[in-house]
Amino acid sequence: MARVMLTLFDTCTRRSLPVEAQDGKTLRFYCCGPTVYAAAHIGNFRTFVAQDVFRRVVELGGLRTKHVRNITDVDDKTIRNSIAQGIPLKEYTEKWTRKFHDDCRALNCLSPHVEPSAVAHIPEQIELVKNLIEKGHAYLSEDGSVYFRISSYADYGRLAHLDSQTLDLGKTAQTRADTDEYEKDSVADFVLWKARRPEDGENYWESPWGQGRPGWHLECSAMSHKYLGDDFDLHSGGVDLIFPHHENEIAQSRCGCGGNFARQWFHITHLLVDGAKMSKSLGNMYTLDDLVALGHTPAALRYVLAGAYYRRPLNFTLSGMRDAAAALRKLRRFDDALATRANSTKAPEPTYRDLIKNPPDLNTFTPAWESLQDDLNTPEALGHLFSALHAIKPAELTPEESASTRRAFRFIIEALGLILPDVQDDETDEAPEEVRAIAEERWKARQAKDWSKADALRPRLAELGWGMKDGKDGYQLHRL
C-alpha cells in the first residue's frame, strides 16, 4: 500500500515539516502530561486525543514510537488542594492519576511507553539545577530559591516568537516569577527551585540549597533528558504551554544538558464551549463524567475530539455530541455489513496491532489516509471516510472483497482511534418524528419557564419509550 509521509506544522519554524525519526526507526516524542489536582476536563482531553491520533498515524504509517508523557504531581495547585482537603499529597495525586488513566482508557487513548512523575524524579531535577548554576545560567536568591537567568540564553523567546521589545532582557533580568501560574505575557527570570514556604506544609525535599521543591517547568526538562536524551524528535502540548512553559523548558535543557532538545513542536489549539473559553466561573467546564451524566458516551466525545482539526479552535456543543453518536452508528452498521458479507472468509477481526503489522491496500479509503498525512487534517479525513461509505455497497461485494474493504475501513477507524458502539438491530439513528415533536415542545416550554407544561410532557415521552435529559444548551433523547 502507498504510505504517504506525515507532515506537521512546526510552531518554532512556522512551517510544515515532515515527521521523521532521527535514528530512522523510532520516533521519540514527549507530551506534557496532566496536573493531577482534579479530573481532567474535555479541553485537556482535546490535547491528549490529538496527540493520540498523531501517534496512531505515525505507527500505522510504519514507524515505531517512544512516547513519554509526565504526570505533574507537585506544583502550586496540587499542594494547595491536597492541603485544603487534609489529604497527603501522594494520596491526593494518586487518586487523580487513577481517574486520569480511567478516562484515557474510556477515550481509547494508547498509554505512553513511559509515564514518569515529577515527585519520583527529584534527584534528576536537582542535578539539572546544579548544572545550570555551574554553567552560569542560574543563581541562588537570598531566600534559598534558585532562578534561571534568561538574559544568559540568547535564543530565549524563539519558540514563542517574542519580539525584542517584550524581550528587553536588560530590564527584565530584575524581575522574578516564583509561581507556577504566572502571567503568560510576563518575561521574567523563572524559578527552578523554590525554597520551602509555610504554605507548602510537609511538601518539601532536601537539596544543596536547603529544603524546597522544584519549579513546575523543571520536571519536563529533567525527565525528557532521562528518557529521550538531549536531542529528540518532537515535543507537544496545548497552545497555552508555548509560553512560558515550553520556552523555559528549551532554555533549561539547552543550557543545562547541551543538545538541541526537541527538533519539532506540535501544539494543539484550545477547545471552547459554546464559543467561550472554558472556566469554572462560567459554569461551562465539562469533564467526561459530566457528559456521561447527561447521557452522552465516551465514544461520542472521542469522535468530537478526534474529528477536529488541531490548528483550529474546537467549539464544543452538546448538539455536536448527538451528531457524533449518530455518525458512529452509521460507521458501526457499515462495519457490521462488511463483517457479515466477509463471514465465510473467516478473516480475523482487524485489530490495531495487526493492521500495523499487515497494512491493507486502502483503495477507496486512500484519500482519508492522505488527509491524515497532511497535517492531521481529521475533519477532511472524516469527510473522505463517509464519501467512501456512500460509494461502497457491501451487498455487491464478494466475501473476499468485503474482508479486504473492512481492513481498509478499520485502518482509518484505528488511525482516528474511534470507538464503534454496539448497535441494536431495532435502534434507529434518531427518535421517531412524534417523539422529536414532543421533545421540541417540551424544550420550548422549559425555555419559556413554563415548568408545569414541561413536566406534563415528560410522561408522554415515557409512554413512547423515550427519556429526555436537559443540558445547558440543549437536550438529549434516550431510550428508556
What is the closest distance, in whole angstroms, from the C-beta atom of residue 47 to ligand AMP in the complex? 4
Residues 217-246 touching Zn ion, rule: CB under 5 A, are 220
- Contacts of residue 115, defined as CB under 8 A and 6 or more positions apart, other chains included, come to 33, 68, 69, 70, 71
> Does residue 32 touch ligand AMP according to CB under 6 A?
yes
Among 27, 43, 99, 306, binds ligand AMP (CB under 6 A): 43
CB of 46 to ligand AMP, least distance (A): 4
14: amino acid identity, one letter: R
Helix (H, G, I), strand (E, B) or coil at 348: coil
The partner in contact with residue 94, picked from Zn ion, ligand AMP, none with C-beta cut-offs of 5 to 8 angstroms by kind, is none
* CA 76 vs CA 37, 201, 387, 415: distances in Å: 10, 12, 49, 37
Find cell 462560567 and name the residue.
282
Q: Give the whole-angstrom CA distance, residue 99 versus residue 114.
A: 18
270 binds, among Zn ion, ligand AMP, none (CB under 5 to 8 A by kind): ligand AMP
If the CB atoms of residues 236 and 402 are measured against ligand AMP, the closer one turns out to be 236
Q: Shortest distance, CB of residue 389 to Zn ion, whole angstroms?
A: 39
The option from ligand AMP, Zn ion, none interacting with 47 (CB < 5 to 8 A, set by class) reads ligand AMP
Range in contact with Zn ion (rule: CB under 5 A) among 215-223, 310-318, 428-436, 454-462 = 215-223
Say if residues 46 and 305 touch (Cβ distance below 8 Å): yes
Which of Zn ion, ligand AMP, none does residue 244 bind (CB under 5 to 8 Å by kind)? none
The DSSP annotation for 234-303 comes to EEEEEGGGIIIIIHHHHHHHHHHH-S-EES-EEEEPPEEETTEE--TTTT---BHHHHHHTT--HHHHHH
* Residues of this chain, 285-304, that bind Zn ion according to CB under 5 A: none
Closer to ligand AMP by Cβ: residue 68 or 403: 68
Distance CA(480)–CA(458), nearest Å, equals 12
Fill in the per-residue mask, 231 to 260: x = in contact with ligand AMP (CB under 6 A), - = not in contact.
------xx-xx-------------------
Considering the rule CB under 5 A, would residue 314 count as an interface residue with Zn ion? no
404 binds, among ligand AMP, Zn ion, none (CB under 5 to 8 A by kind): none
160 scored as a contact of ligand AMP (CB under 6 A):
no
The reply to whether 44 sits near ligand AMP by the rule CB under 6 A is yes
32 makes contact with Zn ion (CB under 5 A): yes
Q: Residue 235: name the closest of 205, 262, 274, 268 by CA.
A: 262
388 binds ligand AMP (CB under 6 A): no
Which among 239, 248, 306, 235 has a CA at the least distance from the CA of 267? 239
Longest dimension (CA), the chain: 79
Please state, in angstroms and rounded to a whole number, the distance separating the CA atoms of residues 216 and 192: 8
Q: For residue 52, count other CB atoms closer than 10 A to its CB.
A: 25
> Shortest gap between Cβ of 435 and ligand AMP (angstroms)?
35
Given Zn ion, ligand AMP, none, residue 271, with its beta carbon under 5 to 8 Å by kind, binds ligand AMP
Looking at beta carbons only, is 179 or 343 nearer to Zn ion? 179
Is residue 215 close enough to count as binding ligand AMP by CB under 6 A?
Answer: no
Q: How many residues bind ligand AMP (CB under 6 A)?
A: 16
Does position 221 interact with ligand AMP (CB under 6 A)? The reply is: no
Angle, in degrees to the nearest 10, between helices 76-84 and 89-106: 110
Q: Which residues contact 461 (CB under 8 A, 6 or more apart)?
A: 435, 438, 439, 442, 467, 468, 477
Q: Binding to ligand AMP by residue 278, rule CB under 6 A?
A: yes
Selected from 28, 34, 68, 338, the binder of ligand AMP by CB under 6 A is 34
Q: What are the DSSP calls for 455-470, one per residue?
A: HHHHHHHHHTTEEEEE
User: Residue 304's binding partner, choosing from Zn ion, ligand AMP, none, with beta-carbon cut-off 5 to 8 A by kind?
Assistant: none
Least spacing, CB of residue 272 vs Zn ion, in Å: 23
Q: If we measure between CA atoms, which residue out of 32, 57, 131, 35 comes closest to residue 352? A: 57
CB of 70 to Zn ion, least distance (A): 7
Chosen residue from 27, 28, 30, 47 binding ligand AMP by CB under 6 A: 47
End-to-end CA gap in the chain: 46
Would you list the DSSP string of 292-343?
HHTT--HHHHHHHHHTS-TTS-EEE-HHHHHHHHHHHHHHHHHHHHHHHHHG
Q: Which residues bind Zn ion (CB under 5 A)?
A: 32, 220
Q: Which residues bind ligand AMP (CB under 6 A)?
A: 32, 34-35, 43-44, 46-47, 72, 237-238, 240-241, 268, 270-271, 278
